[in-house]
Amino acid sequence: MTGNWAETMDIGMIGLGRMGGPMSQRLLRDGHRVAGFARSADTRKQFEEKGITAAASLEDLVDKLKSPRVVWLMIPAGAPVDETIAELLPLLEPDDIIIDGGNSNYKDTQRRAQMLKANRIHYVDVGTSGGVWGLENGYSIMVGGDDNVVAQLRPIFETLAPAPDKGWGHVGPSGAGHFTKMIHNGIEYGLMQAYGEGFALMNRKTEFNLDLHQVAEIWREGSVVRSWLLDLTAAALAKNPDLDGIAAYVPDSGEGRWTVAEAIDLDVAAPVITLALLQRLQSRDPESFSNKLLSALRNQFGGHDIKKE
């Protein structure tokens, strides 16, 4: 690679939403220079007031960066990434770097890396975890890409991680970062489902009149099931003990589905993650045809009563 790299770097951030915006702020705090682009003028103005150099377009963003440029995508996976890369490609020069920090499918990442390599543009995939807490606590960073390129980006990853030597790592070649994050999210599905089922059982055991927030707080200290997800469970129950006003509808952003598909492809049994995904799908069906059919079948073969709507 060419160019002079220092401990503080210039980064162009595309996407200033729930993750991209706070990540930009964390980079700024550590002395990096950040130019940011968001399609909303109001969002650009909001972050300009926080010290980010706002760019009115992708062309403007690229113009604000020193060569070799580092452009970080923090946008929805799928078509938006391909479309943004297509817009960036004629604006970039050989040895510039595109980082995809979103939840892209690792197979898409491998395809994009090969395409960009033919154009002498480096592509680095970064599985990023930390959510809205990342600004203060740091992000878990799983990096995929060529060794020499990742090494040049080290100051960025050291800033975004919880500590320079903790919470981040170069896990393998192109696609490895997003693959690792995909598995991370599949595990997250299983953990969340287990907590949900356990607390549902305690909630149903009315004779003990359990204080679920109290139980969560007890488990947070010394228990083998303590975790950050349990910390968040305790916080949620402290705020809303009966979870009033929350619909029993659980979305998924894709990584759980990809994890299950990968398990099938690799002949690896992953029943917990698979069932956790299926539970999310079931949560979205308030008029479950399958459950209605089960009730009708019980009536057909056993004369069991059918509960009417």
**Catalytic position from the list 188, 262, 287, 308:** 188
Cα dihedral sign, 145-148-149-152 = positive
The size of the chain, in residues, is 309
Contact predicate 104/254, CB 8 Å: no
**Catalytic position from the list 64, 158, 181, 255:** 181
Closest-CA residue to 54 (of 70, 71, 38):
38
Which residues 6+ apart lie within 8 Å of 212 measured at CB? 199, 202, 203, 237, 241
Catalytic site residue 239?
A: no
Catalytic site residue 181?
A: yes
The catalytic residue positions are 181, 188
